[in-house]
Structure 1
Amino acid sequence: MDGPPPQEEDFTVIPIPDRLAHKNWKARVSAYEALIKIFENSASDTDPAFRPYINNTDLVKKFVTDSNAVAQEKGVECTVALVKFAGETAAKTREGIVPALVDKCLGSARAGTKSQAVELILQYAEVENGGTGIINDLLPGLGAKQPKAVAGCVFALKEVVRVFGTTVVPSPPILKALPKIFAHSDKTVRAEGTNLTHVLYQYLGPGLEPWLADLKPVQVKELKDAFETMEKDGKGHKTLKPERLTRNAAREAEAAGDEAEPQGEDVVEEPPDPRTFAEAVDIVPKLPASFHSNLKSSKWKERKEALDDLHTLLKNTPRIKDAGELGELAKSLAQCIAKDANINCVMVAANCLEEMAKAMVDSFAKYRESVFPPMLERLKERKANVTDAIGAALDAIFATTTLTDTIPDLDPALKSKNPQVKEGTLKFLGRSLSSATSPLPQAQIKPLAETLAVLLEDGFEGARNEAATCMGTLMKMVGERPLNAIMDTLAEVRKAKVKEAFEKATIKCKAGGAPARSAPAPAPAKKAPVASKPPAKKVAEPEETEAPEPPKKPVTKPPVAKPPVKKVPAVVANAAGGNAAGPSSSAPPKKPNASAAPKASNKPSAPAAAGALDTVKYKHTPEDAEALAADMIPAQIMSDLGDANWKVRLAATEEMQSWLEKEASNVDAEVLVRAIAKKGWSEKNFQVSDKYHA
């Protein structure tokens, strides 16, 4: 029958609700397109246009499960617009929509439907301010019958992690699912699993590897080879950054006036511990009945065999259930570490305690007091492999407890007479300060700092160095201000080492200490004569070594008291009524003295100036000066200055003169004068003596 084709029905004249329920798929497409425009033109995310849909999840579910493939694609696109523009108010529809996407969209033959479904999943993660719900809805899709649907789910998981990062998206549930993905019979699913693992590696790094233990060896090898290639190509760990913010993070960034950068850009991703998600197992029934008797055997091989069996059991039990008998086991292992004469037994016992602490997590903390002292005592062992094993066990135990609880347990070891024990304990303390997740309480800061200050003067170099590291790390944690009083008592060489350690230290928590203070304000002037009693301790600071500020008006008479000839950085104490140079070089205290000088024309200040020269306050203690001299003056010169042959001493003084001409700007005059004074003031040979005074 000839004639024009029948004119298509104009669906735009039909109300949207009727079009959504229409049998003709084109009518439904028309409705979806109309809704997209309405959502895009909405005034805000609370626009009334959203209400009929966000309050009716079943209706929206029909959008994404439309029986017609073309209409379904447009329906998913419409839902993307709904969630995007309705924002967080649309988050409540996720529970009904995402499972439908898993069933009907992620395995679709239409690329547009799949890409829109993935975008909708990303939108839900954004408006829910997290990916937990999304991950819980996607994981059941890994058991779908259609390989295409499974591959689509794995791809969606990868995209959520890639776009938002593991700060927003919890990685442990995904990591637990990796063995299931890699065991799938379909190669496309396994290939998507490989891509997912690559993205996880870019965020988590080597911490991902324990989660690959249940994969086939060939798969593990392929993945590790791929990781190495990624690192070489500059696409390895920490190279991938989140691309999108959640709505909440975007608001916070806007409120802070920052650019809307992806959340967690500068956050170091901590890989989750696989043990956290393992089921706790009671190992007490699995312990051999003869274990404790074998551990006390006089034959070291029997002791080691018992320990090896225990270590195998502990290593194969990711999570250990707490039991009363485990306390006795922990004590036995600690005693073995402390007293066993065979270092092989000591190392295996330490390995056992390490695995035990890791597997028991927080429940091991209560055994801390009974195992720390004997373990620390065995740090006297000089073999590095033994102390390393003990150190690893100590670190694992510390991870179950806190700094607050641990510090008191270290005090006896820090005061041990054995230098290796002190050094090893300080190394452990330094690692603990760096890895602690909560800062040291205010009440414990000063006692610990005082202990470290004492150890900074220890006769054993290893202990001194580690004490400086600990002090620097503590300063990084609590700030400089709480430690200023103690730092002021340290020699300059010690301060320098602490500051160096402070710059290098890394920590995981900070107490919010204030920046270092400037020089203290001058103390109120006291009338008591300074010469009445010598200073009991060093109170001088570098600022005090400056010469008094010149008077604003020229003094007509020459100064009553000459300044010291030698440039010795010491503070000259003034007698009462003299020109008082206080502990600060601030101008106000000096003005009265400067103005008083011209008035006192009868020379009353001369005796005071003379008295002032009688009491000298050195900047360095004798011990510090000696230590600084050893570092500053060439050792050969100092050795020759004490030689019995006067010609050798004379040559040494000439060599020192040459050295001084080159290094004058770097020499501490006080240290130099005090060093040669020990050698030279009693010199009997006139030629050598003349050289000293020259």
Structure 2
Amino acid sequence: MSQDQEEDYTKLPLETRITHKVWKARLGAYEELNKSFSLSGSPTDPCFDLWARQPDLWRSVLADSNVAAQGAGVTAFVSFCKFSDPSYIVKCRELASAAISEKCLTSRASTKSDAVEALMLMIEVDAAGPVIDALLPSLSARSPKVITANVSAIADLVEQFGTKIVPPKPIVAQLKSLFGHADKNVRQETFRLTVHLYRWIGEPLKASIFGDLKPVQVKELEALFSKLPTDPPKQLRLLRSQIPEQTEATDESEKEDDHGIQEEPNLQEEEDEFDLIEEVDVIPKIDSNLESVMSSTKWKERKEALDALIPILSQPKIKDGEFFGLVTLLSKAIVKDANVMVVMNAANCITALAKGLRSNYSKYAITSIQALLERSKEKKQNVVETLSSAMDAACETIPFDEIAEPISAFSNNKNPQIKIACFNLQTRCFRKVLQYPSKFSIEVCAKSCVPGVSDTFEPVRSAAAEALGTLMKLVGERPLAVYLDSLDEIRKSKITSFFESATVKAVAPPKTKPAPTASAKKPDTKSVVTTKPRLSKNPPLPPSSTSTASISPKKKANTEKLSLNVEKTNAFENGPLMPRPTTRPVARGLSRNSPLLNKSPGLKSTSPLPAGTISQTVQGIKNMELDDAAHQPSKLSKTSSNYLELKTNHNGSVDEIASLNEENEELKILLSRERDEKTRLQRELTEVRKELNMIRDMQPSSPLNDRRSAFLRRANSEMLDTSAGPSNRIDLLQSPLGRARPLSSTGFNQHSPSAFSKSANNLSFQTDPPKQPFSPRSNLTSDWSKAIDLTTRLKQKITEMKQTDIRHQGMIH
């Protein structure tokens, strides 16, 4: 039973298991959390979403009543602090510190060490103040064990971070009460805390605490202070804001000095030299009968044809053209030709073509790489080297993200030589790639290499481990942790050895700094240079006056009209068209709320405008004819007609929407009525069924009800048998069950209260009918009549409900 329950725990949601009443369910949830946090690919991985939404859950995890579950919960919290985003840690820091102070520091030794590590990780986020404030209340606890554990934790924090990070004032204020505590362990840990504080603060600490201590305690402290080293203390753990930025910056600068600054100019020089080289058109030089020669059955003819092709393709720069047929022919020769000499010549042709075309060869790269990998089953070293050089030349012409998946597909090949060639090609690509690979490429390559580490053939295992180690050097350890989790320690150590010795050229993309919030932005006024016009489609005209003078008068008039139309658009965009002032023209591209105009409120018509706008502005004012009242009404009338037309269309749309809304409301009312009718019919149907069941339950002991069908069949058969002769017919008529017709289920209901019998040829009526062995009860007739009526009503109600459902479905659709 317990095993079944444990299996059911894993099927429950994680949030439910975290707060489950069974400690084994909580333990499994905490272990799963620790694993998911450790294998997360980024600080904002989906496994952290629950804790970003509900940071209060950590209180129940860290204060778990079960010791084993609490240890697993503290371990999971340590992983959370290591791998999650700092903003997630800040949300739960105060309540987590309080829970650790009250429950975790007094638990097992392993749990206590993990709890102190969690406190240090929370301090590393930004500051130690919130953590220390959460620990200080526990120094006044009733239990000496709690006080001792918290004093020891504060001493460890001061030792690791120093008083530059840990605020000493609130701690020093508690020393007097701690030195006077009755428990020996509390006083002992207080001595250790004071020693660490003295190493950072120095003599000022003596003046602040020695006056409140006993002479014996002062003497013991003096003895401890004298044993301290004279060297200034160093901060052993740094905040995240202090950490590796300086060291990484120096390392990266050294790498740039060693690699980047030397290689980038070389690459730039090579590109410049390649651009200066004259292109050579090799397509006309290729033998037109090459395809027919390559299909010859004699290997010497095929080899000679390729020998003649190699010098033609060995050009520094080849003019781009249609080489698809040639690459297909060479790839076919590499894959299917049985002679290795022909294969090597074809590979050399691909190498020369790739080096001559460079980036133009990228459209043929995947085809040739797949052919070369497929032929890598050869074991001769010279053939393998030729094929490898051709693959390298093809890979240099195309980004790695485009060939990562086609290359990784060969890791599942049955031939171990092809697997080795695949892993070796990946390793060479990781070393030479200059751009950081995408997340998809990393996933594809890691998934293809991990099974190879466990291959039965040792060279395959070694090649796969080298590829994984080089990839880890390229992207880091954390992105590959989720893929290496299934490997044992021996294989992981082998990958780590290759990781330490690997060299790569690509550098990880720089971390993007978070965008400043709105409150952090400075309210500096924008300068004229950075001010953008409202309409980017209408840039200001060039300021040269010579270009304006060289235009013909007709074209000039058109240009001026165009400029006026642009100004109209700007005016309508800011609001309704109003007469513009003639004394203060606005430069093109500047709104009336522009900083340029706001900075100079006293600007007049004679004030100088920015360069290149005076001539256009003056000419525009002259042509606008603002003082002429004849032009303005025409503009307004044209605008008003367009406005009325738009308003009419808008009103029509509004009316149509209103009518649709009214129709929708009516349909909703009808639908509600139909639903009420359906509910009523269902209720009546239920009542009818209840009545029918009650009638059936009233007569369970009647033999006629229990065996009605069998009795009727038997009685009818007896009547048919006795009707064969006259004597038998007379006996039947004289019998109590005598009847001239077969019995039916409804025959008893059709009897009259009086009974009759027939003897010989005389017919006599009897007031009291003879008792029959299976006669029904006296009220059977009325009960069956009610049952028939109820059945009829039931059928009617069912029919009405079906019709209501049909109408209901029709209204919905």
Q: Which has the larger radius of gyration?
A: 2
TM-score (normalised: structure 1): 0.35
TM-score (normalised: structure 2): 0.30
